[in-house]
Structure 1
């Protein structure tokens, strides 16, 4: 039996109504947070190309469902494809024709009054009687419950993708003038940032920009240094090219260099914390090699790692500039 495409079934009407509810709640939430943004034209064209190339991998049922979501809820095609995929995994959408059930036109014979309520059992010769009927097969999960689970999973996934896209737009806007920035883009549920550092100041700037902890564990990958961060609850992945070379040069140039958590500290120079206190290294170390620092004008000593975690990051103290007459040799 074929159904006219202009007539929607009850299941389709329920699907449309629920998606309208999810879409309205999602858009209202973005508007209340002030995070409803528009992506640039280049990103839109790139997404359109990806959508067109990827449509060939989807079934007809998947594509028709995504079309309904786009037309009804005004979702982007990528989001509609993800929702349709989640519904397929939940078992709401199935490929292939619907199963046909044969129904007899003649009514089933009615039992006589004397046999109503009786249970007819067939016994094999020599078999013991079994008063219990065979257990009924397990009932399938109702389509409505599977639909709700699929919508909830798709809505949660969609919200995380939207948060990542919003953070990417925010970072691009806040750091648009940075010449070392190569790329800032949303990658599924996270944001990736790529820079080509000219100095270690670029490296420390972006560590702060992506919300990296002062005790973040960075690692080298070829000619780049990798660091994780977090902005507004979204994971940010920083790839900083040329930083390993810059760190090696800083270690060579330092009077007594010490590498800790992606930074090189010159222990011959006083280090200033966020409170403006200067910390001096007097040549003492712990058994594990961690330098011990002493606050200027104080006898309190603390390991470098503890000072960094409590009041870091630390910056080298800048020597005061000399007057031009003194700098030129005149007294």
Structure 2
């Protein structure tokens, strides 16, 4: 049962959520991997020790993720109960399918593609404040949670105003807010709002799609050399020390293993502060106030 007792998996801390669930702090993101290509990527990640897969309907690869989960004994007809319990699977609702009925129908399709009986977290992908349907969508999410088919409810890209509007209309905050977050775009106002309301912060693009590896005129590389690790490991370690959940994407098994190997060193206070000082005014991705995806 090396799956259950994997040393790499055991090294990853679990973050406690407001509803009592615990999520592995490091997961694998699968954005921009086609349906056929994602299967071996997820398989290699699980075999490397990942116990957290972050997907979405909008990535158009849920069937491929499901095939990998089935091959690894997590999903499908021959799923192993212990393996399923050890794995955290997140997926997200398409923006075009927000609303009560459409969300319920979408979830049925997604669950079938993933070959699962339940998902650990279901998320609203973007707030679309210009076409706000989050309150009705949330009612569907609550129903799915009550039925035991979703363990915990999250959102992505919600700004403080979106979080407050959701709470005003539903009486709930999400357990997790997944946002673009990296050294040059730290979104401190959003992070502070999340902490105030007991919402865990999850970072996508934790290295700004690689751009932050060269941020700060060699700051990251200097720290990496001091610890004999890679610049990527330095940035991911910074996130870990901040208590942030991270979902770095890599299609390469060696890089996947490197992105898990963050617990043999620690940043000094000065090193951590130097990375904090890299914060800047420019996001790498889209503006949640105006963007809709899928």
Per the shorter chain, which TM-score range? under 0.3
TM-score by length of 2: 0.25
Select the structure that is richer in helix.
Answer: 2
Larger Rg: 1
TM-score by length of 1: 0.23
